[in-house]
Amino acid sequence: MKIWQLLSPKNLTRGDRDLPALTSGYAKVKITRALLSESDAAVYSGAKKVKYPVIPGRYAVGQVVETGADALFNKGDRVYLADATDNEEAESGVDVAGETKDGFYRDFVCVSASEAYALPPTVSDEAAFLIDAVATAEKIVDETGVEAGRHVLVVGGGLYANILCQILIWHRAVPVLADNNAERLTLAKKCGIYYTFPYDDTLRENLLRITGGMLADAAVYFAFSNKSEPSRVFSLVRRGASAVFCARTEKSVAINLENAMKNDVTVKCVSDNREYISSAINDLANKAVTYGEFTFKQSSEEALPAALEKYAEGDASVLNEEINIFKFIF
């Protein structure tokens, strides 16, 4: 099979490798599209330490071309490939594609039912690359325990925050999106998110107005390229509320807990969403998310090295915050 592999930081080469023989319970998948993520850029640059050589590529979709005995897939199935799988021998108990195990910048992979999810016809390839954001949103909804009609402050106006607000609406909660990027707030409005405000000194007054003086019932802070002060959310929620800090890659976030302790706020963190992928696919199949306003860029496989170099040299975190999604067709 054809692969892109890193031999060392920024040393990306095209090569060949034998594909393991197909065994019982496994399916051979032709990878058709792979996403360029912040994680991939961090591995490429060396910011994320990995064992070389490694095949990058954390997120991908593909098509089943062959099945072994007892495989729970049919030939021709489109599948979303899991970016993280259980591994009791790993230090964290989890293997992450493109980091602690080979990723998806290659043309074939053999997977079991625990490593791939069949996609219904109503979930396009574009929508499939929103599965991670939707699964993260569903986990946050569970972690906050927010009920219908409750107000949730979401800080950060990028893709994951936008998707979370839409999923909160799907669950009949009331999201309040705060961000200091006017373009992202405008996009949120187009996606049906009603309450959008700058994350500045006017936010508290706006929250008091729309909640009848109660402030938010929960807050979510996305620690991607978010430059907003994270500790401030504790003064924007009611007493006894919960505050969730979320990142899909490792982030260093300095948080002052003074106001959290004063207001008896429960602090939670979210980074793993594996148990919510099936729910996310169901959400997308049922049109819980509007994504027609998002921009999807498609590039050929040959554009991969230049794209990785670009984001390794710049701010790779924008790959999680901006609306543009880059896909590579193999």
Q: What is the pLDDT of residues 217-255, one digit of tens each?
A: 999 999 876 778 899 999 999 999 999 999 887 778 889
The identity of residue 77, as a single letter, is D
Cis bond upstream, residue 53 (ω within 30): yes
pLDDT at 319: 66
Q: Supply the pLDDT for residue 323.
A: 47
| Overall pTM > 0.75 | yes
What angle separates helix 159-170 from helix 182-190, to the nearest 10 degrees?
30
Distance CA 302, CA 98 (A): 19
Average pLDDT over residues 62-81: 95
Q: How many CA atoms lie within 13 A of 152 on its CB side?
A: 32
Higher pLDDT, 81 or 320: 81
For residue 216, pLDDT beyond 50: yes
Percentage of the chain with pLDDT > 70? 95
pLDDT at 9: 95
Q: What is the mean pLDDT of the chain?
A: 91
What spatial distance separates the first Cα and last Cα of the chain, rounded to whole Å? 11
The pLDDT, as a whole number, for residue 225 is 64
- C-alpha 37/C-alpha 248 separation (Å) is 10
pLDDT per residue as tens digits for the range 98-133: 999 999 999 999 999 999 999 999 999 999 999 999
Give the separation between CA 91 and CA 108, rounded to whole angstroms.
27
- Please write the tens of the pLDDT for every residue from 150-204: 999 999 878 999 999 999 999 999 999 999 888 889 999 999 999 999 999 999 9
